[in-house]
Chains A and B, each alone.
Chain A
Amino acid sequence: MKKWITPVLLFAAVFLVSRVCQPYTLICQEYEGLFLNTPDGWTRAFAQPWPLSGIVSDFLIQFYRDPVYGALILAVIVTLVFLLCRGLCKCLGFTLDSLPALGAGALWFFLSRSSEPKVGIAVLLVLSALWLLSLLLKKRPGRAWKPDLALALVLVHLAAALTIFSPSVQRTERFSRVKHDALYGVWDDLLKTVPPAVAEKDPELTPFALLALSGKEQLGDRMFTYPVYEENDLDMIYYDGNREYYTSLLFKACLYQYLGCYNEAVHNYYQWATQLPKGTSFVVLRRMVELYYLLGDYTLMEKYCRILDHTSVNGAYVRHFRALAAKGTPREADAPDVRAQIPVITHDPLYNLILLQRNGFDTPMLRDRMPAAAMLRKMQQEAE
């Protein structure tokens, strides 16, 4: 019985910590992951370094959309690594839990900070191969070490504590939660995740909090409870470096989607996709389906549906949009003389809001943002 204590505890710890402390991290790994059973998908899969572990990792990430499965997969990987390490130690004549627990715990901590389980899969595959080879070796009698089990349990607890209290894990989880909430318009949760005190420490999140406020039509009342100093805090038009570029594109994609300007939302989702590891992702493909449905371009919507048909867990989603499109009326293309008169988006967010309003976009969010953007412009001009 004793030999199961460490692996069971390890499995339970990884599962519970991942499920409770990192659900949005897992969900966002699916959002930004991609596994396509298509010719180009396989070509890309085999072109990556460590292709086998990459392919398995990409395949498994599909299921992270439900964090229960994500946590389960992570727990299985870490526990299997522990068991294989223990098996290898046994072959070398050591009946040990502590050393495998140290290895598995370190891997868990690493995976909790990683954007995919690829390294875990690679370790698992290498250990599996070593373990199979070890079966050919002559078995040696095991030498036990008395405080081993206690030490192993301490190491598992230590790994759990490191993961739970790691500032980097917490920051990733918070940012993932903000991404999820912004993508799906869960404004109350977003405001709970980014209260003014958090925005003070992490200014990158301020525009998302203000987006949530405008989603609730409370921007005018509550904007200045947040650390708002300039226009960029509201609309994130400027960025510094790759990380801010990534965030700015995601923010603008969400913003223009909620403003009803789907052309500009598509533009920014495409741009955001180029910042993702595989050039597109599950959430981008799903967003394309939604946006092209809203734009009335059912032909293009169907293309993305067919691509998502080549994934494992998007069947219901695709069927839903196909049913909606079957009832809808596709939009006709505009004539050249009509197209030529349509204004284009600019790098001035306030002017863009005015353009949208003049052209018939009338959403509550637009009405809420307009005075706030004008006020910030005036403040900025006066400060200059």
Chain B
Amino acid sequence: MRGVWPILALSAALFLACGRVEFTDSSSLPPIVPDYAGVTIPEGMAALSFEMADGRPFKVEEKRIGDTLYYHVRAWDKKTGKGVRYAPFPVYISHDAIDPYIAYRLIEPSYEGWKEMGLYSRELATYKEMPIVENASVNGGCVNCHSFSPGDPSRMLFHARGAGGGTIFVNGDQVKLLNLTTVGPHKQGVYPAWHPGGRYVIFSSNATQQSFPIMGSQQVEVYDHNSDLILFDTQTDSVFTYEPVCNTARMETFPAWAPDGNTLYYCVADSLASVVENRASVHYELAAIDFRDGKFTGEPRTVWKADSLSVSFPRVNGEWLLFTASGYGTFPIWHKEADLYLMDLETGIVSPAEILNSEDTESYHSWSSNGRWVLFSSRRLDGRYTRLYIAHFDGEGHFGKPFLLPQKKFSHNVLRLKSYNVPEFVPEQPAGLDEAVSKLFAR
């Protein structure tokens, strides 16, 4: 045993010698991923986790001064033993409330097929992710397009595709499956928007197809051959159409209600033959139509259009409307040029939400209940796997710098082989539906 002590002492000395790092001060901010320097986060957000862009080991200390968190980062090189003490970077804390949960779908960003997918909720104050429903409950079919009734997260719907599938409506403990193609005009529902009153749901009904470019940086193109809007009444389980938004001459899609429920915004383009060959000429415009007492009235009106941009996913927050615009087509997630644009509905002025945008795709977005935060998806990390970002909105047309939804370790964003899809804020934790839904599919 006596011979062991010198070896242990030598090992300890070597360890200490190797662990000694000489630090020099730098006036620059640390090169970290994701870029959290200067972002605005809500009070009580789960701690931000990041790593050095070049993979160096680092230590971080947080100091809060007023409503600003300062991150002091020291990083060093293992081989040379030399380190850098970077200038602290600020993270601003907003006292504007944020919904405590978000809901999204996780799916491989693949092509026609899938293996596992599901709808999940995530608590923003922690890293806790809970399944709402996984596709194992619907015999491996596709679950998509979830939508919550505004202000009442116990009411939601989502589609379960595949044999015996349809649209699943959840109202508290009641879960029912309805195949919309069996009622009214026999059209299937795709993109939903729940009316603020809670009784009606507007769906677009799309004939969607994918194609695969033989070369180039875009590997998938998704487009509609035709699409219409249909109105579903949750009290009578009936479906209605209104010719100006349900006709073969034009393709209507991506419906979104104004908060007062009196106006429906949507995207529309002229129908055309051979869509894929002519995809460069498909430019959706933003349109609106009035809605009173459960009925559409009047004629649709163009709200905004541009010859070189195609609009998708309008989302209204009071007098502000946020939408995605890409070079052409209807499915911006595969378009690297897709960016978020903000429209002032009072003045009609549209401008790119520059601070939210990146070189890569920005797409699906949703407003928090109080309109002070926006949640959107972006492919800026790796160009393929969609991740979620949250940004503060001051109510006067200005966004704060967005932050990547924090995970316990940043590497989770890299290692996760699924994309986040259709992110929505939710005021309460959605209930798990696997058991109830699997009963519907076991029949």
Partner of B279, one of A295, A297, A340: A340
Whether B354 is near chain A, meaning CB under 8 Å from some CB there, is: no
Other-chain contact of B214, A270, A280, A344 (Cβ < 8 Å)? A344
Residue B208 at the chain A interface, CB threshold 8 Å = no
Interface segment among B154-162, B170-178, B215-223, B226-234: the answer is B215-223
Please, which residues of chain A bring their CB within 8 A of the CB of B219?
Answer: 263, 266-267
Interface size of B by CB at 8 A reads 41
CB of A221 within 8 Å of the partner chain? no
Tell me, yes or no, whether A138 is within 8 Å of chain B by CB: no
Smallest Cβ distance from B164 to chain A, in angstroms?
Answer: 19
Bound Cα distance A343, B218 (Å): 11
Q: With A273-B115, A279-B116 known to touch, is A342 a contact of B418 (CB < 8 Å)? A: no
Which of B15-23, B24-32, B377-385, B435-443 is the contact stretch?
A: B377-385
**How distant is A256 from chain B, measured CB to nearest CB, in Å?**
9
Q: Which of A302, A334, A344 has the most CB of B within 10 A?
A: A344
| Min CB gap B221→A, angstroms | 7
Tell me if B280 counts as interface (CB < 8 A to partner A). yes
Mark interface residues in B189-230 (1 if CB within 8 Å of A CB, else 0): 000000000000000000000011111111111000000000
On whether the beta carbons of B110 and A271 are closer than 8 Å, the reply is yes
A310 CB within 8 Å of chain B: yes
Rounded to whole angstroms, the CA-CA distance of A240 and B290 in the bound complex is 50
Q: Is A339 an interface residue (CB 8 A)?
A: yes
Task: State whether B414 touches A306 (Cβ < 8 A).
Answer: yes
Task: Across the interface, name the chain A residue whose C-beta is closest to B416.
Answer: A40
What are the residues of chain A within 8 A of B111 when measuring CB–CB?
Answer: 267, 270-271
Judged by a CB distance under 8 angstroms, whether B411 is at the interface is: yes
- What is the minimal beta-carbon distance from B301 to any residue of chain A, in angstroms? 28
Least CB distance, B323 to chain A, in whole angstroms = 17
Counting CB contacts under 8 A, is B328 at the interface?
yes
* B2 interface contact, C-beta 8 A: no
User: Which of B110, B216, B382, B415 sits near A300, CB closer than 8 Å?
Assistant: B382
Tell me the nearest residue of chain B to A276, going by C-beta: B115
User: Does B412 reach chain A (CB closer than 8 Å)?
Assistant: yes
Nearest CB of chain A from residue B215's CB, rounded to whole Å: 6
**What is the predominant secondary structure among interface residues of chain B facing chain A?**
loop
Interface string of A297-329 (1 = CB under 8 A from B): 101101100110010000000000000000000
Chain B residues within an 8 Å CB radius of A41: 415
Q: Determine how close the nearest CB of chain A comes to the CB of B351; give it in whole angstroms.
A: 20
Contact with B along A189-232 (1 / 0, CB 8 A): 00000000000000000000000000000000000000000000
Q: Is the CB of B215 within 8 A of A263?
A: yes
Are B327 and A338 neighbours in the complex by a CB distance under 8 Å?
Answer: no
Residue pair A336, B327 in contact (C-beta under 8 Å): yes
Q: Is B428 an interface residue (CB 8 A)?
A: no
Does B337 have its Cβ within 8 Å of any Cβ on chain A? Answer: yes
* Nearest-Cβ distance from residue B225 to partner chain A, whole angstroms: 14
Q: Which chain A residues lie closer than 8 Å to B412 at the CB level? A: 38-39
State whether A263 and B414 are in contact (beta carbons under 8 Å apart), knowing that A270-B110, A336-B328, A344-B221 are contacts in the complex. Answer: no
Contact: A297 with B383, CB < 8 Å? yes
CB distance from A37 to the nearest CB of B (A): 9
Indicate whether A381 reaches chain B with its CB closer than 8 angstroms: no
Expressed in whole angstroms, the Cα–Cα distance for A281 and B280 within the complex equals 36
CA distance A143 to B112 in the complex (A): 63
Contacts of B336 in A (CB 8 A): 333
| Distance in angstroms between the alpha carbons of A345 and B221 in the assembled complex | 11
B319 interface residue (CB < 8 Å to A) = no
A363 located at the interface, meaning its Cβ lies under 8 Å from any Cβ of chain B in the complex = no
A355 at the interface (CB under 8 A from B): yes
B113 CB–A CB distance under 8 Å: yes
Say which residue of B212, B335, B416 sits within 8 Å of A264 (CB atoms).
Answer: B212
How far apart are the CA atoms of A204 and B225 in the complex, in Å?
Answer: 35
Give the docked Cα–Cα distance between A160 and B275 (Å): 60
Smallest CB separation, A329 vs chain B (Å): 14
A271 engages B112 (CB within 8 Å): yes
Besides A267-B212, A273-B108, 11 more A-B contacts (Cβ < 8 Å) are A261-B215, A263-B213, A267-B220, A303-B384, A331-B217, A334-B216, A337-B327, A339-B216, A339-B327, A342-B215, A359-B214
Closest 4 CB pairs of A and B: A336-B327, A279-B115, A340-B280, A344-B211
Q: Which B residues fall within an 8 A CB radius of A?
A: 108, 110-116, 211-221, 276, 279-280, 326-328, 335-337, 359, 382-385, 408, 411-412, 414-418
Interface residues of A (CB under 8 A from B): 36, 38-41, 44, 261, 263-264, 266-267, 270-271, 273-276, 278-280, 295, 297, 299-300, 302-303, 306-307, 310, 331-345, 352, 355-356, 359, 361
